[in-house]
Amino acid sequence: MAMTLLGISVRLIAWNIYNRDDNVYTGQHAWNEMYIDGRWKVVDWTWADKTYFMDESYYKKVKK
């Protein structure tokens, strides 16, 4: 919301996460993309959030 108040387009992306064994956790992660300098850039603060414990087996990986 803060970025939209500054006139920056933002969209929410929700997807799955996978651990190192390729087990899928459906819809367990969301992040934002902001339109800056003519292209969409990913902004994901969740992975840096130290208030939420996450096992090291979780990775930022998207299956295509």
Which pLDDT score is estimated for 2? 80
Which pLDDT score is estimated for 9? 93
Count of C-beta atoms within a 10 Å radius of residue 10: 15
- Residue boundaries of the structural domains of the chain: 2-59
- Give backbone dihedrals phi and psi of 46, rounded to 5 degrees, phi first: -60, -45
Which pLDDT score is estimated for 58? 47
Which pLDDT score is estimated for 54? 52
* 20-to-40, 41, 56, 59 alpha-carbon distances in Å: 28, 26, 9, 7
Per-residue pLDDT of the chain (64 residues; tens, 9 = 90+): 688 888 999 998 887 777 777 777 766 777 888 999 999 998 877 665 555 555 544 445 545 4
- Give backbone dihedrals phi and psi of 30, rounded to 5 degrees, phi first: -140, 150
* Lookup result for tokens 């130290």: 50
